[in-house]
Amino acid sequence: MKILVTGANGLLGQKLISLLTQKQEVHTIATARKPVSYSLTKTEFRILDVTNQKETERVILEVKPDVVIHTAAMTQVDQCETQREECWKANVTGVENLVRACENATSFLVHVSTDFIFDGTYGPLDETAVPRPVNYYGESKLAGEKVVMNSKLEWTILRTVLVYGVTDDMSRSNIVLWVKKSLEEGKTINVVNDQWRTPTLAEDLAMGCYLAAIKKVKGIFHISGEKMMTPYDIAIETADFFGLNKTLIKQTDSSNFKQPAVRPLKTGFIIEKAKRELGYQPHSFREGLEVISNQLKG
């Protein structure tokens, strides 16, 4: 099976490439807008900017992948709010280009989306919950989903929540690494206690993508961890696990943070459908911290 991955430089992209190259039945094609910053083994690499229609059509038709896993996106929520044209281009126009190319190549599409398509009034949410985004990032990702759903493709949409993990080259941090680094440096950190999520280990999301690709089960699936946690809970558990000073962690709420984009207060996912139909089994949050700890030591 030939699987092409977009966004190979991102956290999910790197974890996915690492997983796919361990599978004998998979020929992996990694793609990104820029050359990857890590060593690739058993992997073909192509430059691909999905916002470029001609380039997207050319690469997809040359490779003719059985499955495309689309992880590339603009995900910086505040940046999406202030740079709306760039956000729409990345998260909607890019999807339109990819869908058109996949239709021509008859490729199955696995599209990665987000919990931020929801308004945060309640959670955890299953796949039947009605999307109502409260920020422009969520609007763009919901529009991207609709492009996929209205296409002639066979497709799977995987929505996820607050992804954390570590790679050799981290261009962006995530909540676990930020907490660990801040406490190690003796910094006091203010962490919100009124937002609820089901944090997702990057390795688990990569496995969800792989399972969707090989099973080709059409539909929407929620892929995340199982435990509902606030960022404050995440910070405390991270401090406890790594033996750091949790008195440096101060509770606050969202009203004290002035950010361009509104955050949904309560999301988190019910993942029973993914367990049942894909065979998805996530790590617990503590097990996720163990994975990170072992990788940092390695």
Question: Do residues 179 and 251 lie in contact, with contact meaning Cβ atoms separated by under 8 Å?
Answer: no
Task: Name the pTM for this structure.
Answer: 0.97
The token duo for 134 is 């409260």
Indicate which CATH number applies to the domain containing 120. Answer: 3.40.50.720
Cis peptide before 35 (omega within 30 of 0): no
Answer yes or no: is 243 within a domain.
no
Q: Which residues pair with 200 in a beta bridge?
A: 163
Going by pLDDT thresholds of 50, 70 and 90, the confidence category of residue 39 is confident
* Residue (of 95, 248, 98) closest to 180 by Cα position: 248
Of 35-39, 170-174, 237-241, where does mean pLDDT reach its minimum? 170-174
With a cut of 80, say whether residue 288 has pLDDT above it. yes
Angle between helices 285-297 and 175-184 (to 10 degrees): 60
Whether pLDDT at 52 is above 90: yes
Residue 271 belongs to some domain of the structure: yes
Q: Are 31 and 73 in contact (CB under 8 A)?
A: no
Residue 182 lies in a domain: no
In a domain, 141, yes or no: yes
Instruction: Please give the mean pLDDT across all residues of the chain.
Output: 96
Asked if 26 contacts 3 with a C-beta cutoff of 8 angstroms, the reply is: yes
In a domain, 21, yes or no: yes
Backbone angles phi, psi at 44, to 5 degrees: -85, 145
**Cα Rg, the chain, nearest whole Å:** 19
The pLDDT of residue 173 is: 83
CA atoms within 13 Å, Cβ hemisphere of 242: 25
Whether 236 maps to a domain, the answer reads no
Cα dihedral angle (249, 252, 256, 257), rounded to 10 degrees?
50
CA-wise closest residue to 43 among 19, 67, 60, 64: 19
Q: Which residue range(s) make up the domain with 135?
A: 2-167+199-227+267-283
172 is a domain residue: no
In which band, very low, low, confident or very high, does the pLDDT at 38 lie, cut at 50, 70 and 90?
confident
Q: Look at residue 121 in the predicted model and tell me its pLDDT.
A: 98
For the stretch 115-144, pLDDT in tens is 999 999 999 999 999 999 999 999 999 999
Mean pLDDT, rounded, for 26-34: 97
Give how many domains the chain has, as a whole number. 1
Quickly list DSSP for the chain.
-EEEEE-TTSHHHHHHHHHHTT-TT-EEEEEESS--SS--SSEEEEE--TT-HHHHHHHHHHH--SEEEE------HHHHHH-HHHHHIIIIIHHHHHHHHHHHHT-EEEEEEEGGGS-SBS-SB-TTSPP--SSHHHHHHHHHHHHHHTSSS-EEEEEE-SEE---SS-SS--HHHHHHHHHHTT--EEEESS-BB--EEHHHHHHHHHHHHHH---EEEEES-S--B-HHHHHHHHHHHHT--GGGEEEE-GGG---SS---SB--B--HHHHHHH---PPPHHHHHHHHHHHHH-
* Cβ-contact 48, 35 below 8 angstroms: no
Residue 133 lies in a domain: yes
